[in-house]
Each structure stands twice: as structure tokens, then as C-alpha cells.
Amino acid sequence: MPTLLRVDSSPMFQNSVSRQLTEEFVQRWKALHPDARVISRDLNQTQLVPVTAQWVLAAYTPEERRSPEHKQILELSDTLIAELEAADEYVIGVPMHNFSIPSTAKLWIDLIARVGKTFTYAEGKPKGLLERKKATFLVASGQKYDAGSPFAALNFIEPYLRAVSAFLGVTQTIFINAGGTASLRSAGADRAAFLQPFVEAVSTQVV
């Protein structure tokens, strides 16, 4: 059974462009895969906490030697990683915050990037363990940061997420950038017209 993991990181909920695009992706994907499964992970409704020294100690303790406290510390990380392992494909909504990803998305990455779980070292070189997966990132930003635009050098989202994905073994990554969302704050802005080209771009990526 094909499985899609949907991850949302915007705090704007119903006003979020990235959430609207992930919803569009999911609905189109479900239409093509009516008997498939969708796992939804809302990072703004998940109690994410920063990685601590105790977390690192638990993660690097061999599984057979972990105490009940270690297992409790790693419980959320285990759950988030299990979602990634169960899915064949990911769609991830990411708004730009200060030229990079939201803090919730960074906490999620910190919890899923675990040695022996999502990556390992073979002969001293890192090897990603989330292989044969596809990730589509739907990025919303107030300005346009596409290649060739005046602000392109300030877009740290795409290079960072490409690097992290590849490190974890996900080499098939697609980015759809919905730039210019600041225009939606003006009086009389046509949200549907603004979204239309990005919705069409999403439709071309759903298979």
C-alpha cells in the first residue's frame, strides 16, 4: 500500500499558503491512490523540544543497554522516524522565517537525524538510511527568492533542506517555491489567482 507522509510547519494554520499547497498535494495524491494511506504530522501541534545532553546520551547508548528513562527521552524521535520509514513519499510545507526554515522544522530535523536510525557511518563516511524515498517541499515566502531574483542569495531553505535530505538518503527532492506571499496582505488581494500557478505546479508533481 503506497503511503504518503504530510508534514506541516507553518504557525498560520488556515491563513498559511504552504498548508494550502500541502492540502492540495494530498487531495490530488489521494485521488490517484484511493486505497493508499496518508500520515499527517503537524509540527505546530506536536510538543517538540530541543535536543539536550540527555537526549544525545540516550541516542548514542546501544539499544540493548538503554534504560527506561532513555527510551522515554527518545519516544517522540522514534515515532517521527517510524513515520518517515513507513512512508514512500513525503510532502513538506515550509514557510520562510528569517531566510530559513521555521524553528519547528529545525527541531523536527534534529529529532529525526539519528545515527543508526536515519543515517550511519560506513568506513568513516556517512550513509543515509531513508533510501528510495521522494520528498516534495512546498515553500512559501513573503518575497521571491528564486534563482536569478535579487534576493536569491538570501534563500537558505533550499540548499539546507537538499543537504539534510541527501544526508539522510533522500536524493529525489523537488521544490516548489510560492514566493511573494506578502502581496496577499494588501487590500483586495486575489488569493485564488495568486495560488493558481503554484497549485498547477503541485499538480504536475503528483504521481
Tell me if 138 is assigned to some domain. yes
* 65 assigned to some structural domain: no
Residue 145 in any domain: the answer is: yes
pLDDT band at residue 104 using 50, 70 and 90 as cut-offs:
very high
Which amino acid belongs to residue 19? R
Report yes or no: 103 and 57 within 8 Å, Cβ to Cβ: no
Determine, yes or no, domain membership for 62: no
Q: Looking at the predicted structure, is the pLDDT value of residue 123 above 90? A: no
Q: What is the pLDDT of residues 72-98, one digit of tens each?
A: 999 999 999 999 999 999 999 999 999
Nearest partner of 162 among 102, 107, 92, judged by Cα: 92
Answer whether residue 61 is part of any domain: no
- Asked if residue 122 has pLDDT above 90, the reply is no
Give me the number of domains the chain comprises.
1
Pairing type for strands 89-95 and 134-141 reads parallel
Q: Is residue 174 in a domain?
A: yes
This prediction's pTM: 0.95
Q: Which of 22, 50, 61 shows the shortest CA–CA distance to 108?
A: 50
Domain that includes residue 130, residue range: 3-44+76-205
For residue 170, being part of any structural domain is answered with yes
1 pLDDT more than 90:
no
Residues 195, 20: contact at Cβ < 8 Å?
Answer: yes
Give the whole-angstrom CA distance, residue 80 versus residue 111. Answer: 8
> Which CATH number covers residue 119?
3.40.50.360
In a domain, 93, yes or no: yes
